[in-house]
Amino acid sequence: MSSLLSFLWRNYKCQYPSEVSKQNDAIRIGLLGASNIAPAAVIVPAKAHPEVIVAAVAARDHKRAQAYAKKYRIPIVHDSYQALLDDSAIDAVYIPLPPGHHYEWAIKALEAGKHVLLEKPSVSNGEEAAKLFRSPLLSKPDSPVLVEAFHYRFYPAWQKLLSLIDPGNIVEAHSASYLPKGIIPLYDIRCQYKLSGGCLMDLDLDDERALKILTSTGTYNVSILRQVFGTEPEECLEASYRGMPPGYDKEIDQAFIAKWRFPNGGIGSMDADMIADGGYSIPMMHEFPRIQLPKLEIKHREVVVDEDTLPSGQEHALQKTVIFWNYLLPHIYHRIDIVEKRTIRSTPSADGRVFKSWTETSYVKEYSKKDGPESITTYSAQLEDFVNKIRKRPVFEWVGLEDSVKQMEMIDGAYKKAGLPIRPSKAGG
């Protein structure tokens, strides 16, 4: 009962944090677009941060922007994205537009001297990523801050996961995530090639819907594999996709499977589907929407453990597997399983006979930073470090500029391997 009450209270506080008074020099953020993700990503976390004010919004549909501002108590509605960027009272912007528009408006924001929190995927392809993240606008000591919003990385549970693995000793890592069929309509912006849509590119939901399905998929899978191995892959070994039904955009992937080889010889793989069904043992449910927590499974090579108490000619072998359930929205719920398969056997130079074998399983949850509250979300943790970076204070986690370039290059490589075109570039325009 106490666990249930803790779960309910934590999620209530995440959704409805206590509002705090604002500092006189609070960072004033403007929203480009009246998006579904902004409330979870910025608006709600800002309520509990004394140094952040969501001050303005602009959208292509001005009436929508006005209704959005009224709903979320945003004081200023600008007539256009450019008008918001021209507002000298705005210090930073959040860009959750379709990926095909990210490059254009991120560059314009930097030119206007605004700090930028940029939704993932950062841009449409590797070419745009190189132009944006290596821009001279970012090379000066007083340059604006630009960061790609991989919010899961800022949460303590993800950092805990990284502390439990040995990247150089990983033999296999697999990331699987599915969005149930029926959540994303086939005409959605994520299903339009000209807007740089596709399952491998992006799929993100606001927390209100995510609370109902506890799942998501997209470019996260690529980011997670790069994080787990701690480096870039040497080669994309395999990539395949399931396309859209007849009559819809034939260059869009609604599901994607890929496999990479990393420098340590380990294999990283992913399975993502933004219109998923099946996965059930009951035949009549094979076409039902698939509901499954995002799952990351990391298998290590077997190692020999130092143990002085063993008789001569015997050794203690350990093979560890770490499983992270719901790595994308861990503030709602998560669990990290540590499975250790142990064997006492004679050494290979002898007969290799097994004397004893057993499995030890332990579970870890990490909902707060050291001495911090459990009511933080991945988004509030991200916003906190965005502010810290602007203020030139130490950060808990950060997504570097080159990191975002490598991310898009890995996505491009997978699309090419699958026989799909990379998403269209607007970097030249």
Task: List residues with catalytic annotation.
Answer: 120
Quote the CA–CA distance of 194 and 250 in Å, as a whole number: 12
Neighbouring C-beta atoms of residue 365, cutoff 10 Å: 13
Pairing of strands 115-118, 92-95: parallel
Strand order in the sheet with 76-78: 76-78, 52-58, 27-32, 92-95, 115-118, 146-148
Place of tokens 């995002």: 294
Residues 6+ apart with CB under 8 A from 113: 144
Quote the CA–CA distance of 382 and 135 in Å, as a whole number: 23
Q: Decide if 296 contacts 220 (C-beta within 8 A).
A: no
Please count the CA atoms within 13 angstroms of the CA of 423 that sit on its side-chain side. 35
Angstrom distances, CA of residue 133 to CA of 32, 98, 107: 19, 18, 10
Quote the CA–CA distance of 225 and 293 in Å, as a whole number: 17
Question: Which tokens hold the place of 275?
Answer: 């219109």
Quote the CA–CA distance of 141 and 168 in Å, as a whole number: 35
- Cα dihedral 284, 287, 293, 299 sign: positive
Q: In 100-246, where do the E strands start and end?
A: 115-118, 146-148, 170-180, 235-243
Angle at 96 between CA 185 and CA 83, to 5 degrees: 125
Pairing of strands 115-118, 146-148: parallel
Q: Decide if 279 contacts 292 (C-beta within 8 A).
A: yes
If phi over 0 gives left and psi between -120 and 50 gives alpha, with beta otherwise, what is residue 253?
Answer: beta
Question: Which tokens hold the place of 61?
Answer: 């549909």
